[in-house]
């Protein structure tokens, strides 16, 4: 089961011709009426999401990402009338995790992209927001300039309102740039899964956008369980691979938060597991390797579990069974008396990588030359071309608001 280093792969081998009219600018209604492409051992079938129970085994498990998209784009108007746009990426490094940072009162530091930074001459910019019928003055300043972003200090001086609430009142849901349109009021609902719970993402885990309460009822009737993990999706998910070979691309790092009960379930189940979305799959694979690291180093601490980009290709212990790895992780959580596992992952999943945790993946159709397309190719091999060619020629809608596919591991 040894996996091969994937860095030599050339990104131009993972491209296809995607026309703008094939990109879904808006979702269909109801959500579960989206088209569904089902791929299994080279065979492709076509249906809609509300009938997905016809293609999932009875007594299987769906793993879903319950992160919530935050209003990460904030516009400030200068006295001259020009606009400064702040795009919140992730907390400054001093915070333990995103949840802790989101709950900060009065003041917080955040890594951000800044549009119009050269025009930002004043020390502080401000805007008025309304919370519980009270006006609050939100101020921002550049605390530090980093190589690829800024650390921005947000100050609102009110200990009754969290930063998550500040964003809700001050910000805008950040739609993916490839939609080429402004955010509309309806997006606050449609660009969020019905099970979104924990604030922290700047992009939706879009595979989950197709699920409705009625679909969950159909899944339950077939004894198909669903369990939640949390991976907060970063802006790097839209970052194109500009390097010629994969080894020269820096994978984005994202926060993971998973309950002890979920780890215990994965340590004991013998049911087939399906990941709803690439973020859920990256979380599952990262958790497996965290368990392997716990076996290799019995004295490991939680803050040493984070998975770096190429690390898993260098670990010698490649053949540890799935349940054994999750059991080791569970034992460490018991040692730490921890009910939640909080860490980060930068894992790169591409052809040559052996996917261990799932029987299949539910996902949307991804951009050409993207790390998400590389992940799909790792799951089903060269047949990714067959799947995408079918979707392109059978009126499937692409990207975040588009249709999706159920891909069984080859």
The residues that bridge with 341 in the sheet, in sequence order, are: 258
| Gap between the Cα atoms of 108 and 89, Å rounded | 13
Query: For each of the chain's 410 residues, which pLDDT tens digit applies?
Result: 456 767 688 999 999 999 999 999 999 999 999 999 999 999 999 999 999 999 999 999 999 999 999 999 999 998 888 899 999 999 999 998 899 999 999 999 999 999 988 888 888 999 999 988 889 999 999 999 998 889 999 999 999 999 999 999 999 999 998 998 999 999 999 999 999 999 999 999 999 999 999 999 999 999 999 999 999 998 776 666 788 888 888 887 899 999 999 999 999 999 999 999 999 999 999 999 999 999 999 999 999 999 999 999 998 888 899 999 999 999 999 999 999 999 999 999 999 999 999 999 999 999 999 999 999 999 999 999 999 999 999 999 999 999 999 999 98
Query: How confident is the model at residue 307, as a pLDDT?
Result: 97
Give tens-digit pLDDT for 277-332. Answer: 999 999 999 999 999 999 999 999 999 999 999 999 998 888 899 999 999 999 99
SS3 141: strand
Query: How confident is the model at residue 250, as a pLDDT?
Result: 84
Nearest Cα neighbor of 227 from 270, 282, 284 is 284
Contacts of 408 (CB under 8 A, 6+ apart): 39, 40, 41, 359, 360, 380
Domains, in order of start, for the chain: 11-68+189-408 (3.40.1780.10), 72-172 (no CATH)
Nearest Cα neighbor of 322 from 295, 360, 353, 361 is 295
Contacts of 11 (CB under 8 A, 6+ apart): 241, 243, 244, 245, 246, 249, 369
Strand 107-115 relative to strand 61-65: parallel, antiparallel, unpaired?
Answer: unpaired
The residues that bridge with 257 in the sheet, in sequence order, are: 230, 342
SS3 267: helix
Cα torsion 48, 50, 51, 56: sign: positive
pTM of the model: 0.93
Tokens of 169: 């009142």
Tokens of 384: 């990714």
Tokens of 79: 């006295």
Tokens of 173: 């849901």
Query: How confident is the model at residue 253, as a pLDDT?
Result: 84
Task: Give ∠ CA 12-13-17 in degrees, rounded to 5.
Answer: 75
């Amino acid at each position: 089961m040894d996996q091969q280093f994937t860095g030599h792969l050339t990104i131009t081998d993972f491209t296809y011709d995607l026309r703008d009219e094939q990109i879904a600018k808006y979702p269909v209604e109801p959500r579960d009426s989206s088209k569904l492409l089902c791929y299994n051992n080279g065979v492709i079938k076509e249906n809609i999401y509300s009938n997905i129970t016809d293609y999932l085994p009875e007594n299987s498990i769906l793993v879903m990402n319950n992160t919530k998209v935050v209003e990460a784009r904030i516009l400030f108007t200068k006295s001259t009338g020009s606009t400064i746009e702040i795009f919140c990426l992730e907390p400054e490094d001093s915070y333990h995790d995103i949840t802790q940072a989101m709950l900060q009162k009065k003041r917080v530091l955040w890594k951000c992209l800044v549009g119009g930074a050269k025009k930002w001459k004043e020390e502080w910019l401000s805007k008025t927001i309304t919370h519980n019928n009270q006006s609050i003055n939100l101020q921002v300043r550049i605390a530090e300039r980093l190589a690829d972003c800024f650390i921005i200090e947000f100050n609102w001086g009110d200990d009754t309102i969290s930063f998550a609430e500040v964003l809700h009142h001050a910000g805008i849901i950040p739609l993916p740039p490839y939609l080429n349109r402004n955010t509309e009021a309806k997006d606050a609902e449609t660009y969020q899964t019905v099970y979104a719970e924990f604030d922290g993402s700047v992009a939706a885990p879009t595979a989950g956008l197709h699920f409705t309460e009625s679909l969950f009822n159909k899944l339950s009737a077939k004894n198909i369980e669903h369990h939640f993990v949390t991976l907060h999706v970063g802006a790097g998910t839209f970052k194109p691979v500009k390097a010629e070979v994969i080894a020269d691309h820096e994978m984005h790092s994202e926060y993971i938060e998973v309950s002890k009960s979920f780890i215990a379930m994965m340590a004991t189940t013998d049911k087939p597991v399906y990941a709803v979305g690439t973020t859920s799959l990256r979380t599952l694979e990262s958790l497996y390797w965290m368990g392997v690291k716990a076996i290799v180093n019995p004295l490991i601490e939680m803050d040493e579990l984070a998975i770096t980009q190429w690390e898993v290709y260098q670990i010698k212990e490649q053949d540890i069974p799935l349940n054994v790895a999750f059991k080791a992780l569970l034992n460490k959580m018991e040692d730490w008396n921890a009910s939640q596992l909080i860490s980060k992952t930068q894992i790169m999943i591409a052809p040559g990588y052996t996917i261990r945790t799932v029987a299949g993946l539910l996902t949307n159709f991804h951009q050409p030359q993207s790390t998400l397309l590389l992940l799909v190719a790792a799951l089903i091999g060269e047949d990714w071309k067959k799947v995408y060619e079918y979707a392109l020629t059978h009126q499937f809608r692409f990207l975040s608001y588009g249709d999706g596919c159920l891909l069984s591991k080859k």
